[in-house]
Every structure is written in structure tokens, then in C-alpha cells.
Structure 1
Amino acid sequence: MATAHHAPRPMSREEKKLIFASSLGTVFEWYDFYLYGALAAIIAKKFFSSLDETSAFIFALLAFAAGFIVRPFGALVFGRLGDMVGRKYTFLVTILIMGLSTFIVGCLPTYESVGVAAPVALIALRLLQGLALGGEYGGAATYVAEHSPQGKRGAYTAWIQTTATLGLFLSLVMILVIRSVLGEEAFADWGWRIPFLVSILLLGVSLWIRLSMNESPAFQKMKAEGKTSKAPLTESFGQWKNLRIVILALLGLTAGQAAVWYSGQFYAQIFLTQALKVDLSTANILVALSLLIGTPFFIVFGTLSDRIGRKPIILLGCLLAALTYFPVFGALTRAANPALAEAQAKNRVLVTADSAECSFQFNPTGTAKFTSSCDIAKQVLAGASVSYENAPGAVGAPATIRIGEIVITAYSSQGLPADEAKKKDAEFKKAVTEALKTAGYPNKADPERINKVLVVALLTYLVLLVTMVYGPIAAMLVELFPTRIRYTSMSLPYHIGNGWFGGMLPPMAVAIVAQTGNMYNGLWYPIIIAGATVVIGGLFVKETKDVDIYAGD
């Protein structure tokens, strides 16, 4: 691609208005999508109540991830339309699908009412949302970039990047307000539906905003010259020169960006509530404060990328994440639940078991029966959110749990009558609970001992890493591809990165923790991906900030 040869043009007042309208509409879409993630614990109880607690939560996260898994397919469908028909009308369709799907989630019956039909309907709606979002981001990023003056694309497209965080912030505020008005019991019973139902109002506003926009000047120019692509999918992925850039964009940019993004804005919240046992309202407030502080840095790093380049900022964010996640999450434990950190330091929990009787602690379908002493021991500890270590035991010997100096022998429920198994389960759980209490393990984080300032500071650091990797990414992806196939080409690597590498992060991290017992081991997933992106991006991805997006079409 050629470097810039056009003189920088000023941004007109009308163009600024249209870019603002595009970004504001995207806030509403992300609000819709994030509601599910923020309410995952309640969703697990309402739609997956037939499963054990750990599997229900993981499966709720997988249902959340299902929307991300189909995003690349949405990118292909709507990217093709965007390159052939136009940017504006394509993401009018995406916002309509997104908004209606979210509204219907608020109307769905629960598992108790209709059985398996409830989770099936929920997952179907998540898939529709994912398809719509797969077409949304590429359209918004392309649209804004093609309205931006040369030399300011990083600054202008960074506004789109803020919309994801602002959408999350808006969903958290909505949940906090409704929860405080209704009370915890009413919110958990039926009040959780209100944020989904309210989204129909946001959909109306978003549609009105989108209808007021004009088509992008770059697409209008290309269409007037008769240069629109007749087969954008074939051009994007059937020609090696373009396919190579798509692959490098995925492995050298968006995979690491997604891992850092979901670690800082999703997994951190899950870690607070599940591993550290901070109550949901407090965790939401702390996360919301960190988002409020960190969000302006999307614009800071987007603007900085216009001066020093996109690549060094994105890769530095990935590198810092890979190097600092373990110490930062360790500090988060000490700040949010010091009693838990103290208990872990003084009284380690060790599971000793015959490895042959230990199953993979993941049961999303509810069909697996964990009956061995090893599986029962690990399930009880996972249910109590206790981090533990594993040690090999004698062949055929029952598993034991050592909590400090207390050793508890687990039991096998295989072949036991239901009444006897139930009795043994109650006795075993009582023994483990008492031993954990004696060893100083808290049932939940003490609100009085939470160092809220330090927690917000640590969460803000994680958000700052997000702003580094995410602020410049839209501009860089737009600049990698020519106008005729831009919507299609940039959408696929973005949504494979964010949909697959990023969307699978929460359930994969939780499953890794459930299997290994160490609450920090889930961090290996984003660390490895971010590290690989630093290497691949550093070696093979070229800087794009001086590219003229009107040239070479």
C-alpha cells in the first residue's frame, strides 16, 4: 500500500456529528451484549439449574462464549454486504438483530418452567447476538476511519474503542441501580430481567441515530468509480497477498489484544466475585470506578498512535500483560480478601489422590457422574472457591484433603444407596467447612478489610493495558486493507481474535482453575496468547500509521 500523498483534510462539523452518532449507537449495542456477562452467576442458576454449581457457572460462561464463537461468521456475512452494498445499511441491520435478541432474553422462561427448552432458547439468542456483533464492529470502525482526516485516524477511531467500555459501564450502572431499588432477593428472582427489557428503548434511540447518518465518503467514491468488489470473500481470502495479511493481523495483533481485553474487563470481575468472594455489588462498583478512570486513555493511546505508530503501543500492552498478570492478581487477592491471602500463606490446602481416579472437573452437559473420592474432594473445594495443590497418592487409596494440619479422608459414592450417599456428602462437606474455618479461610471477603483504593488502582492498571492494546487497533486494521475489501478483511481477524481467543477466555480460565485447583492458573491462557502476539507481531507485522487509505484501490 502506498504512503499518504493527499494533503490532510480538516474534519467537517457534519462528519464529526456522524462519527459521534456511530460511536453512540455502538455503546448501546455493547450494553446489550455485556448484560449477559455481568449477570452470568444469576443466568447460571436460572437456565442451568440442573447442573452442579461449578459446571452451571462454566456452562453459563460457555453460553456467553457461544455468541463470540459465531462472530467470525457474522463478520463474513455482514462484511460481504458492507463491501458490496455499503457501510450504513449493513450495520442498521446488525443493531436491529442485536437489540431484539437482547429484549427477548428478558422475556425467556427459566429452566424450572420449561426445562431444557430454556437454555436452548437462550443459546440461540446468544448466537444471533454474536452474528450481529460480528458485522457491527467492522462497519463502525471502517465507517469512522473513512470519515477521518489523514493523520488523525487513531484519535477518531479510538472513540469507537471507548464504546465497548462505556457499554460495560452502562450495564453495570443499570444493574447496580435496579438491584439497590428492588433488593437482592427480588433482583435475583425477577429483577434481573429489567436491564434486558429496558434495552428496547436503547434500540429505538440507536436506530434513530443510525438512520440519520450518511454513507462513508470512501465507499461513495469507490462506488461512483465502479470499483466495488463483486466477490469480497474471494478477494480477501482467496488471494495469498491478502490472506497473509489477515493471518498476521490475527496472530500478530488481535489475538493478544483480545486476551488482554477480556482479562482486564471480564476475567478480573469473575476473579473478584468467584475466587476472592467479594460480593457482586461491591465488585461491580469497584470495576465501574476503574472503567471510569481508565476509559479516557483509549483516546490518549489512539492519539499517541498517530504520532509514534500503532504497533509499538499494542505490543507493549501485550508484553506488560504477560509479564505482570501473576503479581497483579496476587496483589488483588491481598487487597480484596486479605484473610484469604493470609490463610493460603499459613495453611495450604493439599489434595492427595490416585491420579487414575481423578476426572476432568468439567461437566457442561450434566451427564457425567463424579463418584470417586478424588472427584468428590475436588468438587467440594471448587464449590467453596478454595485454591489447592495436587499430590500423587497410593494406587487405590482414597483421596485426602490436608488443610493446614487437619487431614480429611474423602469417600467414594460409587454403588452407595442414595440416602447413604447424601448422608456421607453432608458429613464430608461439614468436615471440610469446619477445617477451612479453623484454618482461617473466610466464607466471603470482609467488606471492612477490603482495601478499596488499592483494588481500584490494580483494576485501573488492568484497564490501562486494555486501552493500550485496544485504542489503536481499529485504525491499524482499517489501514491494513484496501477500501474494496476493507469491511470483510478487517472484520474476520478481529472477530476470530476477539470471538475465539477472547470470548473463550472466561470459561477456559475457570475450567483450568477447576481442574488444577490453583486459582491463578487460569492466567496462563491470556499470558501465553499475549506473549505469542508480541513475538509474531514484532517480527512480521508492519507499521501502518502513514498509510493513505484512499490509495491503492
Structure 2
Amino acid sequence: MAMAQTNAGDRSRPMTGEERKVIMASSAGTIFEWYDFYLYGSLAAIIGAQFFTAFPEATRNVFALLAFAAGFIVRPFGALVFGALGDIVGRKYTFLMTILIMGLSTFLVGLLPSYNSWGAAAPIILIILRMLQGLALGGEYGGAAVYVAEHAPANQRGYFTAFIQTTATLGLLLSLIVILSVQGYINGNWAPTAVLDAAGAVVMNPDGTEKMIKAFDLWGWRIPFLASIGLLLISLYIRLQMNESPAFKKMKEEGAASKAPLREAFGTWRNGKVALIALFGLVAGQAVVWYSGQFYALFFMQNVIKIDSFTANVLVAWSLILGTGGFLFFGALSDRIGRKPIILAGCLIAALTYNFVFPLLTQTANPALYAAHQTPVTVTASPEDCSFQFNPTGTAKFTSSCDIAKATLARTSVNYTTVEDPAATVAQVKVGDTVITAYDAAVLTGDDLKTSTAAFTKGVNDALTAAGYPLSAEANTTVARAQNFFDIFTGQKITIVLILTYLILLVTMVYGPIAAMLVEMFPTRIRYSGLSLPYHIGNGWFGGLMPATAFAISAQTGNVYGGLWYPIIIAGATVVIGILFVPGNTHKKDIFADD
């Protein structure tokens, strides 16, 4: 795929056909890389049950999200390593390295034995593979954004880089489509099996029925990971056809390339302050809005609203189909009115509406649960008996009566308040007018512990059932269910899709123009390194940790919506910082005329 040689500084002309092919090839390869990365996010709850079975369900969900977040935590380090390589050796060959690491890591996740087979080694290796994925992705985005921006006409940088912005959502959509297809086939041809505890006994549901696990949840989830080897081969072929960026080639020919891009980008206040402004005035808010609208919304539906994973994936997939065009719309709009006002407006709207949108999602998707939330539930306990149940290391043991009471309520998505009573020796749960006394697991052993656990669990479940809480998914006729991918044409499911599409449109507002904005803030010689680090700190740390942090806050406060204050506060802070410090009119800048 040879690209016609053009004057790198002449960017207001129409894009040539060969340049379009280069940009589309870059975007296609990036879609496959995001597909690899997002498979885990889409299957976090199922994978958590395979690799974190040693922990209670509430803790397991946090660990599953933290394993997902591990890939985001290391992204800034990948940005440093691959960003420097991209500024020294070029954009193209850095692309090849990142896609190879990503593809192989994803394939190995599909082969990794579960906790029951390998014990603690299984989750440790899983987290290592997630970190390798994060390192690769840390070098991917900056290269793709720079590569496309340096090919695009100046008056269409926002529009053409928006194609790169769509790749993250399209990668998620591709992962969902593959998951749904495989899930439907596997579950339709293999019967569920009973869930066994450590002693080999069948685990029972609260309603007395046997707890069953579907074939996809047991082993079928591995197939989308294993299939990524095919996408890896396609992506490598695509990357090998690409030519180097004209801006980078021009810079190398003139001998203007940086020999120490990291020191130049972050070792001086002149460039370092630009990175800080980009991080806190743009990317942090963009990140939490992005992950709230896509990943936390999916996790919220599956684990809080209790929608089955197939239905949740179908509904999110349709919202992505409807909303993805917003990336191109807002990218093109930013070429006319600027990037800054669109990004900050998206952050502001999100901060003002999240506390209305997510309760509406609950009310629509699971009316029985929403109605049950109106029943007052309290946990009365001594403050010294209650712990903050966020346990990323897995070393803490929550055995007090208060912790047991809160964990039990959190598993069933109960909204509750905590009443502090210093004189209380054992925590009590009150559901409506019914009071159930908890127990202290630290002072009980053997049959006494089993008896107390069973009695307390049954007492709470009976009280919640009487209050209208739909503890059995099979008996809940109000919760949204989709039988197949096209089963969305009911008032309830269409409304859910519209709510999710609204969240996706907010994502497109903040994410569509961000690549062009970041490219325009840094000179060519350090552009790859300069934009990659603030982008991946923002999206890797502020955004990637959002689901786990929000879940932990909700569990601690007793409010299923409490975690939303995390993205609301960060998005609001970004609006203020962005208004004060982010430059305007960068869309008019000549990115080939470095200062």
C-alpha cells in the first residue's frame, strides 16, 4: 500500500485516496487492539467467578474490576516506553510492537487455567497478562492519534482523528457481538451444570433451588479470547502495509528529531505544564465520562440491577450502534467551533445528569428492585464494628457482625443506611418493621458458624422478599430480558437503549475531539510522548479505576448510586480547570510549524 508523496506542510488540500487508505488501515488495526482489551471488561463478572472463587461474591466483584483496572494502571508506563520509541524510531514500527504484545496476551488469557486448577497462581498470571495488555495499549493510542492527525488536512483534523476515537467503541461493540454470538450458541447446545462448593456439595439458591452455571460461564467465555489470534494476524498484516507519518519523515530528514523525548517533554516546565493542563483540564473528566457511559453502565446493569449478562450486552451493543456516529459528528463540529467547548460541555452535562440517569435506568430495567428501594432498610451497629470493605490485596478478613450485615445487603443491591450505636454489641438489620440480628464470625466456629450464617441469611432474605426485593431472577417478571439480539422492540427495552444511547452520546462529546486537541498541544518532536502520558494517566487511572472505585463507594455508603459521585466530582473539576487554563482555538494551529 504505497502512499503518494506529498508536501507535509500542505494540509488544507483534500485528502488523497492513498492517505484515506492509510488512515482507515490504522483505524481498523486499532479496533482489533481495543477488541482484545475490552473482552475482559465485558466478561469481568464471569471471569471473576473463575479466577477469584476463594473470595465472597461482593469481594470477588471488586477483585474482578481491579484485575480489569490493572491493565489501566500500567498504561502510563506503556505510554512512556512506546511514546519514546515512537518519537525516536517512528510511528509505524511502534504500532507493530504494541499489536503483537496485545494479541498474544489476550490469546493466553483464553488458555489460562482457573483458580480451581492452579490455585493462587491463576489470578496472579491473569493480572500479569492484563498488565501486558495495558502496556501495549499505552503505546497504541498516542501513535494512532498522532499518525492520523499528521496525515489529515488541517481543516479536518477533528473529523479524521474521530475515526480513531470510534475504534475504542467499535472494539467494544465487536467484542460484544462475538460474545453474544458465542454465548447464544454455547448455551443453546450445552446444558447448565450444578455449582459445587469446596466440599463437593451442590450450592443452593436463597429460594431453595439448586444453583446452576451455564456452559458459557463455565468454559465458553474462553472462545472469544482464543479467537483473537486470528485478529492478531489480520492486524499485523494491516500494520505492515502502512507507511511512516509524513511529519515524522520530514523531521528525520531535517535532523530535528529529539534524542531524549521524555526529558524534553516532561523535564522542563514549558512542556511539563502543558501535560498537566491536558491531564486535569481535559483528559481526567473525559475519562470518567467515557468509562461511566460504557463500562460502568454495563457493570451496573449486570451486578446492581441484576439484568442477565446476555441481555445487558445486547442493550449496550444497540446503544453503541446508535451512538457511535456521534464521534464523527462532534469531531467534525470541533473543526468549526473548536475542541475545548465541546469536551467541557460533555463533562458538565454528565456531572449534572448522572444522578438522574442511573436511577431512571434502574426504574426502567428492573421496576421491582426500584420499588423495593423505597422500603427503609437500616444497619444498626457500633462504629468500631464496621470496616471499609475495599480490599484490593485480599489480606483483610471481614468477620464482624456489621461487615457481615453490609456484605449481605450489598449482594442483593439493597439501599440501606447505617445507624451508629456505640452500645450495640451485635449489628442488627431492620427491613421495614422486621429486625434480624447478625452474628460475629470471629467468635464462632464449625457447626455454630454454619447455623448462624444460615439463620441470618434466611432471615434477611425472607424480610427482603416480603419487602418486595426480587431475590430470584427467574421469579422476577419485571426485569428486562432479551431472547436474541433483535429482541429489543418493547417499550421497556427501547427506553433502556435510549438511556444508554444518551450516555454514549456524552461519551462521543468528550472523546470525539480529544485526539486532535492533544495532538495540537504538543510539537512534532515530542508529540507521541507528550500526549500519551497525560492521556493514559487520565484514562488509565482516573477512568480505569472508576468502576472499582464507584462499586466500593456504593458498598460503603449503602447507596447503589453513591459511587456516581466519583465521576461527577472529577468531571466537574475538569470543567473548572479547563475553562481557566486550557487554550482555545487549537483547531486553527499549524501542527507542522513547531515552536
Q: Give TM-score scaled by structure 1 length.
A: 0.97
Indicate conservation of the 8 Å contact 1:287/1:456, yes or no: yes
Say yes or no: does 1:551 pair with 2:551.
no
Tell me whether 303-312 or 46-55 shows the greater mean CA deviation.
46-55
Contact 1:264/1:465 (CA < 8 Å) preserved in 2? yes
Give the corresponding residue for 1:529.
Answer: 570
Q: Matched residues in 1 for 2:276 and 2:266: separation?
A: 10
Give the match for residue 202 of structure 2.
none
1:63 to partner: Cα distance: 1.0
- The reply to whether residue 427 of structure 1 matches residue 431 of structure 2 is no
1:266 matched residue in structure 2: 295
Answer whether contact 1:52 1:366 (CA < 8 A) is retained: no
Give the CA deviation at 1:203: 0.5
Q: 1:492 aligns with which of 520, 528, 533?
A: 533
2:287 paired with 1:245:
no
Amino acid at match of 2:528: Y
Which residue of structure 2 lines up, in the alignment, with residue 331 of structure 1?
Answer: 360
- Residue 517 of structure 2 corresponds to which residue in structure 1? 476
TM-score where L is the length of structure 2:
0.91
Flag the 1:514–1:449 CA change in 2: closer, same or farther, 3 A: closer
Contact 2:366 2:478 in 1 (8 A): no
* Contact 2:381-2:425 within 8 A present in 1 as well: yes
Q: 1:239: Cα distance to partner?
A: 1.2
| 8 Å CA contact 1:75, 1:488 repeated in 2 | yes
Deviation at 1:281, TM superposition (A): 0.7
Other-structure match for 1:91: 95
How far did 1:405 drift?
A: 1.6
Equivalent position to 2:263, from 234, 238, 246: 234
Is the Cα contact below 8 Å between 1:51 and 1:364 reproduced in 2?
no
The 5 A counterparts of 1:286-365 are: 286-345=315-374, 347-365=375-393
- The residue identity in structure 1 corresponding to 2:34 is W
Aligned to 1:100: 104
Shift of 1:122: 0.6
Per the alignment, do residues 464 and 447 of structure 1 end up closer, same or farther by CA in structure 2, a change over 3 Å counting? farther
**C-alpha distance 447-314 of structure 1, shift in aligned 2 (>3 A):** farther
Alignment of 1:113-512 (within 5 A): 113-183=117-187, 185-345=214-374, 347-443=375-471, 446=476, 448=478, 450=480, 451-512=492-553
Query: 3-state DSSP class of the match of 1:545?
Result: helix
- Aligned match of 1:514: 555
Which AA in structure 2 matches 1:489? G
Q: What's the CA shift for 1:217?
A: 0.5
Matched, 1:75 2:79: yes
User: What are the superposed Cα offsets for residues 142-169 of structure 1, whole Å, 9 maximum, x if unpaired?
Assistant: 0000000011000000000111001001
Check 1:449–1:129 CA distance in 2 against 1; reply closer, same or farther (3 A cut): closer
Once structures 1 and 2 are overlaid, which stretch shifts more, 301-310 or 335-344? 335-344
AA in 2 matched with 1:548: D
Deviates more, 1:371-380 or 1:163-172: 371-380
2:58 to 54, 58, 71: 54
Amino acid at match of 2:326: F
Cα distance in structure 2, aligned partners of 1:195 and 1:253: 34
My pick for the range that moved more, 381-390 or 203-212, is 381-390
What is the CA-CA distance between 1:367 and the residue it aligns to?
3.0
- Following superposition, the deviation at residue 371 of structure 1 comes to 2.1
CA-CA distance at 1:444 after TM superposition: 5.4
Deviation at 1:62, TM superposition (A): 0.7
Q: Which residue identity lines up with residue 267 of structure 1 in the other structure?
A: Y
Cα deviation per residue 1:82-104 (whole Å; 9 max; x = unaligned)? Answer: 00110000111000000000000
* Distance (whole Å) between structure 1 residues aligned to residue 75 and residue 394 of structure 2: 27
Amino acid at match of 2:46: I
Residue type at the aligned position of 2:521: L
Q: Is the 8 A contact 1:102 1:196 kept in 2?
A: yes
Instruction: Name which of structure 1's ranges 312-321 and 385-394 shifts more when overlaid on structure 2.
Output: 385-394
Q: Report the secondary structure of 2:429's partner residue.
A: strand
CA distance 1:444–1:499, change in 2 (3 Å): farther
Q: What SS is found at the alignment partner of 1:140?
A: helix
CA offset digits 1:278-306 (Å, max 9, x no partner): 11111111111101000011000000000
Shift of 1:447: 5.5
Shift of 1:398: 1.8
Partner Cα separation in structure 2 for residue 365 and residue 551 of structure 1: 49
Cα distance in 1 between the residues matched to 2:136 and 2:59? 28
SS of the residue 1:147 aligns to: coil
- TM superposition shift of 1:341: 1.1
Q: How far apart, CA to CA, are the structure 2 residues paired with 1:413 and 1:76?
A: 47
SS of 1:495's partner is helix
> For residue 420 of structure 1, what is the amino acid of its counterpart?
D
Match of 1:10, SS state, is: coil
The residue type equivalent to 2:423 in the other structure is V
What secondary structure, in the 3-state scheme, does the structure 1 residue paired with 2:391 have?
coil
Question: What's the offset of the Cα at 1:6?
Answer: 5.6
Closer, same or farther in 2 for the Cα pair 1:548/1:447, shift >3 Å?
Answer: farther
Distance 1:120 1:97, change over 3 A: same
Checking the alignment, whether the CA contact within 8 Å between 2:461 and 2:471 is kept in structure 1 is: no
Mean Cα deviation higher: 525-534 or 372-381? 372-381
Partner SS state of residue 397, structure 2: coil
Q: For 1:98 and 1:7, how far apart are their aligned partners in 2? A: 33
CA positional deviation for 1:7: 6.5
Residue number in structure 2 paired with 1:540: 581
Aligned residue type for 2:462: E
Amino acid at match of 1:265: Q
CA drift at 1:198? 0.1
Q: Distance in 2 between matches of 1:447 and 1:102?
A: 37
CA contact (8 A) 1:278 1:444 kept: no
- 8 Å Cα contact 1:277-1:444 kept in structure 2: no
Amino acid in the other structure paired with 1:434: D
Which letter maps to 2:398?
A: F
1:125 is displaced (CA, Å) by 0.6
2:13 counterpart of 1:17: no
Question: What is the CA RMSD across the aligned residues, in angstroms?
Answer: 1.3
Matched-pair contact (CA < 8 Å) for 2:39–2:175:
yes
* 2:399–2:440 contact (8 Å) kept in structure 1: yes
3-state SS of 2:227 partner: helix
Unaligned runs of 5+ in 1: none
* Contact preservation (8 Å) 2:380, 2:424: no
| Preserved contact between residue 355 and residue 564 of structure 2 (Cα < 8 Å) | yes
Equivalent residue letter for 1:552: D
